[in-house]
Structure 1
């Protein structure tokens, strides 16, 4: 007799219905109709800022509805297939239902996590910066490993990524890197990665094969559309330097001085971009990164003022890592905020199992918000 997956299908149906209520799908359908009407108004673009707000919101609502509706339709199909498998005693169809349930459970997990994102800019794209910390060349190598982890994670999720700048180490790895990740809720998800990451391993750069501990700082800010950017940057507040782009080991990858480094004099924030073909394009990209970082700095100041009124809050900085990746003398990745841990670091560093750490932190934040409320 073919396996009957009716109970498992019913459990997944309950999860989809819960998400339906949480996202208020019917209200979103009404909102979609309203936004489509406004987007079709030929006078909309008379006010470009308002038009961008409408089109951005329209895209987000459509995405929420599409993700929910696609899951619901897949579940309908699996329920019909399961009934046919039982009527025909078809083991192949039953096996197909089992595979569909496994895939669907993973996608429902992702949609459930999306419901945890309630921040003002969680739906935005993200700018990720990684800076090597203590640990010398091992820390630079660790920074490159983290960059690879996040870029592979982005690819696995169907996101796009664009590297703005790599500052290569003299011997190996990256002193620093900045890249953008674009996709649904990219900032909300990657914000869970903000903080110090610690690596423990046998150093491949130590001739005596000693154990080395390395640190890297991961900084994540939302990449805001120009219409949402609140900070204006006067020309007198920045210093712009141009230089020749280079790759690992100083190998030239550009024959002109097209790379751009911008220093924000009041704050000391430095951003660079060298991936574009022209100096003009690199400057525009660097200014987008700088503005995003200044916007985030302003939000942090406002938050610190609120925290001070509430009695202060412990800040995360160097020396207080959020996660440890241990490759020797045992194998483990452990997040110190959530206590979530796994024994397969390779799968995490490959980007495959990073989601469960992100999801655990988002759930922890949601529980913390619920307690505060």
Structure 2
């Protein structure tokens, strides 16, 4: 069992870390924002604009929960330290305080992650698109494996998942699929998954059962709400309707309800978005437009990220050799994130959605890169 002295040292380390994180939070500024938003919420004319009112109330609730969380952690650290002085001759109390200290350490870890999700769109829901790359049938199957992984991951967080569009491949897997992950900070977490993923395994589609390497690309986009203005010229759009696909049976839609929107067709900027998850053509069109706006926003965010990389002197070519993560199922089991070096041999758990260890490591490393970036010259 841990000693009182060892637990006291651990609590002191947690207190030092907590105070440093709280300083970065700038609690007085958060409290001032709460006061301002409370004044807006009290304005009887606020709800004349429902979109703005909803945004104000959501932001207020988020800030209030954030401040309450940090104040509660502060009190729990102080209380635990005070009780520790009574545990010298009380093994049962010491054991309970050891468990409480471990819980507080995890709470502080999670509070730190919340500080990393401070981007302008990190609180938003997300669209995740998975597409196969090089590797033939194995690549299409790998894309389906990733789609399942992200669905399981989102469900572990208690977020709602909706399939927006899925195009099955001929033999196995998918040609493309997009899901909507609806929940607080879904984009803030999921953005860490954007990039090329690599799979190494004995191919179940090779009669000789040889080892194959395949790739898939993951795109992550923030959902755009009514408070974000994304201007789209109707002349830049081509809208096609067609019959929804399916695997047969009663669920197949027999009307032309699926919608395909092409933005700036025939140009290098062309974006194609398809939605067929709803039975209503109007609903599919509205969802497709939401995905298109999300893609346009993510395109601008990526341009800004590339500019920051340029300022840091980084160069990253857009080629398959720059995968962000490798999933090796043969000749050994290993999943390794190449950006952070984090790895695990529990490949099945990862493919079942346990990917937070990679996401949290990436968020911490990405913050470090942002803080070390040179200031942009005016």
Distance change (3 Å), C-alpha of 1:239 and 1:58: same
Per-residue deviation, 1:86: 5.2
Written as runs of structure 1 = structure 2, the 5 A alignment for 1:154-165 is 154-165=154-165
Per-residue deviation, 1:68: 2.5
Matched, 1:254 2:252: yes
Equivalent residue number for residue 22 of structure 1: 24
**In 1: Cα distance, 2:205 partner to 2:86 partner:** 60
8 Å CA contact retained: 1:193, 1:358: yes
Distance change (3 Å), C-alpha of 1:49 and 1:72: same
**In 2: Cα distance, 1:324 partner to 1:311 partner:** 25
Distance change (3 Å), C-alpha of 1:316 and 1:132: same
Per-residue deviation, 1:233: 4.3
Per-residue deviation, 1:251: 5.4
Distance change (3 Å), C-alpha of 1:131 and 1:73: farther
Q: TM-score by structure 2 length?
A: 0.85
Distance change (3 Å), C-alpha of 1:252 and 1:329: farther
Distance change (3 Å), C-alpha of 1:311 and 1:199: closer
For structure 1, the residue ranges without an aligned partner over 5 or more in a row are: none
Distance change (3 Å), C-alpha of 1:97 and 1:304: closer
Instruction: Give the root-mean-square deviation of aligned CA atoms.
Output: 2.9
Superposed CA offset, 1:206-238 (max 9, x none): 222111111000011111212213232416622
Distance change (3 Å), C-alpha of 1:170 and 1:71: farther
Equivalent residue number for residue 360 of structure 1: 361
8 Å CA contact retained: 2:113, 2:360: yes
Per-residue deviation, 1:190: 1.6
Equivalent residue number for residue 239 of structure 2: 239
Question: Does 314-323 or 173-182 show the bigger shift?
Answer: 314-323
Equivalent residue number for residue 107 of structure 2: 107
Distance change (3 Å), C-alpha of 1:148 and 1:103: farther
How many residues are paired up?
368
Written as runs of structure 1 = structure 2, the 5 A alignment for 1:1-373 is 4=4, 5-48=7-50, 50-72=52-74, 75=77, 88-90=90-92, 94-234=94-234, 237-247=237-247, 253-257=251-255, 258-266=257-265, 267-301=269-303, 313-352=315-354, 354-373=355-374
Q: TM-score by structure 1 length?
A: 0.86
Per-residue deviation, 1:162: 2.0
**In 2: Cα distance, 1:253 partner to 1:297 partner:** 35
**In 1: Cα distance, 2:23 partner to 2:308 partner:** 32
**In 2: Cα distance, 1:138 partner to 1:363 partner:** 33
Per-residue deviation, 1:103: 3.8
Superposed CA offset, 1:135-184 (max 9, x none): 12211111111112222222222333222112122222222111122333
Superposed CA offset, 1:25-72 (max 9, x none): 232123212212211211113345543442343233134224324544
8 Å CA contact retained: 1:231, 1:295: no
